[in-house]
Amino acid sequence: MSDITNNTPDHRDASSDNTAIGGLYKNWFLDYASYVILERAVPYIEDGLKPVQRRILHSMYEMEDGRYNKVANVIGNTMKYHPHGDASIGDALVQMGQRDLLIDTQGNWGNIHTGDSAAAPRYIEARLSKFAKDVVFNPKTTVWQLSYDGRNNEPVTLPVKFPLLLSMGVEGIAVGLASKILPHNFCELIQASIDSIRGKKVDLVPDFPSGGIADFSKYNEGLRGGRIRVRALIEKKDKKTLVIRQIPFGTTTTSVIESILAAVDKGKIKIKKVEDNTSAQVEIVIHLHPDASQDPDKAIEALYAFSSCEVSISPNCCIIEEGRPRFVSVNEILDISTRNTVDLLRLELEIARKEKEDEWHYCSLEKIFIEKRIYRSLEECETWEQIIDTIAAGLKPYLKKLKRPVTYDDMAGLTELKIKRISKFDSHKAEEKIAGIEAELDRINNDLANIKNYAVAYFKELLKKYGKGRERRTQISSFEAIVASKVIANNQKLYVNRAEGFAGFGMRKDEFVCDCSDMDDVIALSGDGKFTVVRIVDKSYMGKDIKHISIFEKNDDRTVYNMIYQDGPRGDIMVKRFTISGVTREKFYDLTKGTDGSKVLYLGVTSADKPPIVQIQLRPRPKLKNLNIDVNFADVLIKNRSAVGNIVTKFGISKLRVVNPGTPPTSSSPTASSMAESAPGEKKSEDTKGKNPKSQIKLEF
C-alpha cells in the first residue's frame, strides 16, 4: 500500500506550469535576440567591426610574423575566440580580404564582379596589411576581456584610428533588427575627418568598389527611409553594340546578364546576343537586334528599366553604442569616429609621455648613482635592507633634481647595474641622452597642447601614405526615373471588335489597331458617350459600339477630344472639347449629361491647335430658314471631361459632314486606329480596315 501511495502522481495546477514555461520562452527569446544583435550581426561604433571581424584581426595580429599564413590556419586560430564555427569565420575573412584594405591576400580570393567564390581555405593565404598594422592595433591602448571559454584574452574593441566602418561598409540581419551601411571612399573619409576636426560640416555619399553611376539625392545621410539608385556604366560602341563597363553595387555580371535575358524573353527588350568578356574588369557586350529602327539610347533606357543594370539600395545605419543598438547618420558616425581617433591619439601621446618621463627618471637616477659613487657604499652592507637604506640615503641630497619620488623598484633596479656598465659610464653621453629625452617630452607636450593639429597631421600622413589608387570609382549623378511603359519594346498587337465592344492582344481575327506593349493602358470611347481605361490583356470588355480606341497616356495634355452628342433620344445637340488625364482603371466614365439614350454623333481626336470643322444640316421645318450650321471647334473652349458642353441646336439633324478633320495629336505612343471622323452607324469597307477613314463623311438621319 505504501508503494502505491508513493507512486501516486502529484496533481498540480496546469495553468501555473504553462505560465512558467511561457515566461521561460520570453526570457530565452530576449536573451537570444540580444546575443545576436550584440555578438553577431551589428558593428560596434568604437572600431566599426562585428565580433567575428574583430576576432579574425586579433588572431592575425597574434600570428603576425611578416609572412603569409594559410587561411585555414587563421580560421583555426580564430576559433579560440569565436564560438560559431569555421564557416562563418571563413566567409567573414574572405569578405574582408576582397575589400583590399586590412588584409593582404595571396591566391584565388574570388571575384566581386563575377560572383566567383574564393578557393578553399587550405589553398589561399593572408596576412595583415601595412595599413592595418599602422591603424588598427596598439596593445597599450586596448581594453581586454576573457574569451568565451576563459582561456584567452581578446579585445573588447580594437583601437582603430580611422573611420573603418564607413570605409568597408557592413550588412547584417539580427532578430527584429538589420544594419546596412554602405562603403565610402577612403580619401574622402580622411578629408571629411579633417573637416570634422576643424568644425566644418561634412556630407558623405557612398563609393562602391564596383563603380557605376549613382543618384544620391535621396540618400538621407544613410538613415532609414533613404534610397540610392545605382546604374551600370553602359557605353555605345556603335549603333548596334553596347558595352557594360561597370555594374551596380550588390550585383554580379552573372546576375546582370540573367536579368537582361529574362527581359528579352518577356519581349521587353530587343537584343540579339549578350557576351560576357569579364576578367579583371567588367565587360559585357550587348548586340542589339538588327532592326534598323532600333535606337541605342532607348535600348540603354530599357536596360535600366527592365534589368539589374539599375538597382535601388536602401541604407539602414544601425550601430552598437554603449551596449545598445542605435540608428545614426553616416555623418554622425564620422564625427564619432573622428572624436574617437583624437582620443586614441591623445591616449597614445600620454602613454608615450609617461614612458619618456620614466626613462628620464631612470637615466637621471643612474647618472647620480654612478657619478656620486653611491654604489661604493654598498660594499659594506650585509643585508638587502641595508643596501636599500644605503641607496636611499645616498640619493636623498639629489631628490630635488628629480621629477618624481624614488620608489623601491627604482632602487632595486640600480642594484642590477653591472660593473662593466658602471666602468664604461660616460657622463657626457648620459647628459646628451637625457637632453634628447627632454626634447622628446617637449615635442609630446606640444602635440598634446595642440591635439587637433596633431590629429590633422596624422590624417594627412595616412592620405599621403595609403591614398594612392583609392580615388572615387562611383560617378555622382542625378537622373530621372525611367517610365517603363515608354521604353518597353512593342511586344504585343492591339485588336478590337467595335460592335461587340471587346479589345485585347489575343483577338487576332478582329480589326488590328496598333503595335503596343503588355504594359500599356488602352482607352476606348463608345457610342453611348462613355469611356474606360484598362491595362491591355488578352481580351477585355470596353463598351459596345466603340468610336475611338488608342493607347492611353496619363496626364496627356496634347490629345484633345472633340465631340458632338445628342442629350437623350429627343434632346439638344451638344458640343464639347476636353482632355482626359488621370483616371481609375476599369471604371466607366460618362461624357454626356447622363440622360438615358444619349448618343455620340461625332468624335474627333486632334491636337489642341488644329481642331476639326464639322457642318450640321438640320431637318426642314416651318419658319427655319438657315438649315446649315458650321461647328468650328476652334471656337469651343477646352474643358475638363466632366463639362457637359454647349448647345449647338435644339432641332433635329438630317446630315453631318466633316469639312476639316483637323490634325491628329503628336504622341510618343503608337498610332491608334479610331473612328474619330466617322459618325454613328457608318461601317468601314474591307479594303480600308485598319487605315484612317476619309476626311469627309456624310451621315443621314
Give the residue numbers marked as catalytic: 123
In b/e form, how buried is each residue of 548-560, taking b as 16+ CB within 10 angstroms? bbbbbbeebeebb
**What's the length of the chain?**
701
The cell for 205 is: 555619399
Spatial distance between the Cα atoms of 329 and 162, rounded to a whole number of angstroms: 17
Q: Is the dihedral of CA 517, 523, 527, 530 positive or negative?
A: positive
Bridge partner list, 321? 324
Torsion, CA 390, CA 393, CA 399, CA 402, rounded to 10? 0
Residue 439: CB partners within 8 Å, gap ≥ 6? none
Spatial distance between the Cα atoms of 14 and 21, rounded to a whole number of angstroms: 11
Q: Label the pairing between strands 271-276 and 284-288.
A: antiparallel
Closest by CA to 433, choosing from 507, 524, 364, 331, is 364
List the alpha helices (DSSP H) in 548-700. none
Degrees, nearest 5: CA angle 189-192-195? 155
How would you class 372 by CB atoms within 10 Å of its CB: exposed for 0-12, middle for 13-18, buried for 19 or more?
middle
Bridge partner list, 244? 234, 284
How would you class 169 by CB atoms within 10 Å of its CB: exposed for 0-12, middle for 13-18, buried for 19 or more?
buried
CA distances from 549 to 521, 527, 543 (A): 11, 12, 11
Closest by CA to 248, choosing from 204, 303, 319, is 303
3-state class of 179 per DSSP?
A: strand
Q: Is the dihedral of CA 266, 297, 515, 578 positive or negative?
A: positive
Are 694 and 682 in contact, with CB atoms under 8 Å apart?
Answer: no
Spatial distance between the Cα atoms of 430 and 406, rounded to a whole number of angstroms: 19
CA distances from 206 to 211, 313, 315, 512, 626 (A): 10, 11, 10, 51, 76
Helix-helix angle 186-197:330-371, to 10 degrees: 70
